Amino acid sequence: MQGRPYTEQVASPNLPKNLSLFRIFLPEEVANHFREQARNPSQIAKEMFDKYLVASTGYRYCIMKTLFVTYRQLNYVINHHNEEEMKMINDFNQAIALVVTKHMTVIENNGVTFTYVTDLCDVKIVEGWMGMFDIVGADYSHFRTGKLKKIGDTLFKLYFLLNMEIQRGKYPDTGLQIPSPEEYHDFMGAEKFLKKEDLDNLDY
């Protein structure tokens, strides 16, 4: 697996001067895995991603948290050897892959390509990425073998890197407009995405 994860902050002509972008480098094998997972998504994964595409940044953050929390809940209760139960995990895995590939930026330098995830430089958004890398990493490292386990170990490195940088105060709070739990539930508009009794688990 090539390359060590790292992050950087970059300016953008499309943003106000007080805002910037953050980028996190994805090793090639990890980037290619997410691209593969994003192909032929399930109906539920596609519907969740469609919500993400039309969401404002504050709502996007809540969707990231939903993917993390629900994936985590499923990860530790289902039978990973049961094909039908694994389909529930795969719905959220594919939804995360769709989000990751949506934010991918490929940069070429001297004939070598580098893949980054690029998003708004805001502490809550970075927390959202941290959570998604954490739960996919936990799934792969604890319950998968071979290539997937290695990818899971790398995703854990991404999680620990972002967590360390958040704790050090690297990322600003830009004042995202976070919806109330009721507003968010109404926006998602379907109990299959989020049950009202689960809203407290999002911890936002």
pLDDT by 10s per residue, the chain, length 204: 445 667 888 888 778 877 899 999 999 999 999 999 999 999 999 999 999 999 999 999 999 999 999 999 999 899 988 999 999 999 999 999 999 999 999 998 888 889 999 999 999 999 999 999 999 999 999 999 999 999 999 999 999 999 999 999 999 999 999 999 889 988 988 654 555 455 455 554
6 phi/psi in degrees, rounded to 5: -155, 165
Per-residue pLDDT at 1: 40
Per-residue pLDDT at 204: 43
Q: How far apart are CA 99 and CA 174, in angstroms?
A: 21
Every domain of the chain and the residues it spans: 7-12+20-194
Buried b (16+ CB within 10 A) or exposed e, 164-183: ebeeeeebeebebebbebee
Per-residue pLDDT at 200: 54
SS3 per residue for 87-139: HHHHHHHHHHHHHHHHCEEEEEECCEEEEEEEEECCHHHHHHHHHHHHHHHHH
Per-residue pLDDT at 110: 85
Per-residue pLDDT at 190: 60
DSSP 38-88: TSS--HHHHHHHHHHHH--HHHHHHHHHHHHHHHHHHHTTS-TT-HHHHHH
Per-residue pLDDT at 193: 56
Cα 90 to its chain centre, rounded Å, is 14
Per-residue pLDDT at 170: 95
80 phi/psi in degrees, rounded to 5: -70, -5
CA nearest to 161, candidates 2, 12, 22, 1? 22
Order of strands across the sheet that contains 7-10: 7-10, 21-26, 112-120, 104-109
Per-residue pLDDT at 9: 83
